[in-house]
């Protein structure tokens, strides 16, 4: 059935050989944001606007998903950009600004969560649910198929929320934010191999929890 095929495809997306992000990573070479950051680090004050315009939408989305509240996310985004500006002296020309910016944003979000405003980075499951199709047009508008799709979405969200934070965070960065494995590993301060292991384990957990044993069709 189409529904089963969608379900299997969603779970199979977590297979280690399929960890390519939903949002395609930026092409190799310095992005516009990285080039602007290099100019800003060298003293070009006007380049900061380019950095903001390039990075703010992505970072804001990331922070919204981490903090689950608009005002908190706005404050965190503000603080993230201040940190980027204050630390510009450390930015080397030719480096990628994205992993650095995400690392700062993540740290700011964790700091906000630790201050007791939130108990844990909830919302990652929701965000990943979107990544797996929740936010896309529903292909099953009526009847039993729609009910089953909604049920699968709910279960998927629940299971994503149950994932260990480190695995959930890895999924969020790679599957939703569109960072490459190397970039996400930098953000998390781990080796790429360790990130692959986290993604693999997260995929195994999700497939097992959803009763989908393999991409070749374990669903009944």
Measured from the CB atom, the residue of 142 and 216 that comes closer to other proteins is 142
CB-neighbour burial class of residue 43 (10 A; exposed 0-12, middle 13-18, buried 19+): exposed
Among the listed residues 5, 16, 42, 217, the single contact to other proteins using CB under 8 A: 42
Nearest distance from residue 53's CB to other proteins, in Å? Answer: 8
92 binds other proteins (CB under 8 A): yes
Among 3, 118, 140, 213, contact with other proteins (rule: CB under 8 A): 140
CA dist list (Å): 89 to 93, 95, 103, 206: 11, 13, 17, 42
CB of 77 to other proteins, least distance (A): 7
Query: Which of the residues 49 through 88 are near other proteins (CB under 8 A)?
Result: 49, 52-53, 56-57, 60-61, 64-65, 70, 73-74, 77-79, 81-83, 85-88
Binding map of other proteins across residues 115-134, x = CB under 8 A, - = no contact = x----------xx-xx---x
Mask for 17-36, x = binds other proteins (CB under 8 A): --------------------
Binding residue (CB under 8 A) for other proteins from 104, 181, 202, 210? 104
> Which C-beta is closer to other proteins: that of 68 or that of 218?
68
Structure tokens that stand for 83 in this block? 């940190």
Burial of 187 (0-12, 13-18, 19+ CB in 10 A): buried
CB of 88 to other proteins, least distance (A): 6
User: What 3-state class would DSSP assign to 170?
Assistant: helix
d(Cα 171, Cα 192) in Å, to the nearest integer?
A: 13
Instruction: State the Rg of the chain over Cα.
Output: 19
CA–CA separation, 220 vs 217, rounded Å? 8
Stretch 188-207: interaction string toward other proteins, x if CB under 8 A: xxxx--x-------------
For residue 49, how many other CB atoms are within 10 A of its CB?
Answer: 11
């Amino acid at each position: 059935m189409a529904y089963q095929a969608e379900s299997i495809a969603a779970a199979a997306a977590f297979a280690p050989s399929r960890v390519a992000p939903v949002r395609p990573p930026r092409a190799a070479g310095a992005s516009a944001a990285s080039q602007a950051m290099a100019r800003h680090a060298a003293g070009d004050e006007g380049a900061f606007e380019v950095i903001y315009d390039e990075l703010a939408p992505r970072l804001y989305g990331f922070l919204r998903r981490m903090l689950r509240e608009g005002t908190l996310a706005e404050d965190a985004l503000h603080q993230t950009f201040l940190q980027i500006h204050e630390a510009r002296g450390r930015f080397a020309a030719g480096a990628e600004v994205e992993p650095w910016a995400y690392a700062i944003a993540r740290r700011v979000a964790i700091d906000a969560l630790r201050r007791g405003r939130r108990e844990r980075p909830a919302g990652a499951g929701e965000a990943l649910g979107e990544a797996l199709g929740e936010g896309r047009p529903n292909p099953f508008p009526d009847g039993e198929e729609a009910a089953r799709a909604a049920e699968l979405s709910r279960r998927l969200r629940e299971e994503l929320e149950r994932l260990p934070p480190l695995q959930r965070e890895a999924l969020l960065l790679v599957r939703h934010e569109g960072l490459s494995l190397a970039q996400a590993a930098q953000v998390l301060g781990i080796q790429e191999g360790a990130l692959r292991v986290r993604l693999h384990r997260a995929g195994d957990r999700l497939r097992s929890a959803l009763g989908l044993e393999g991409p070749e069709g374990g669903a009944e």
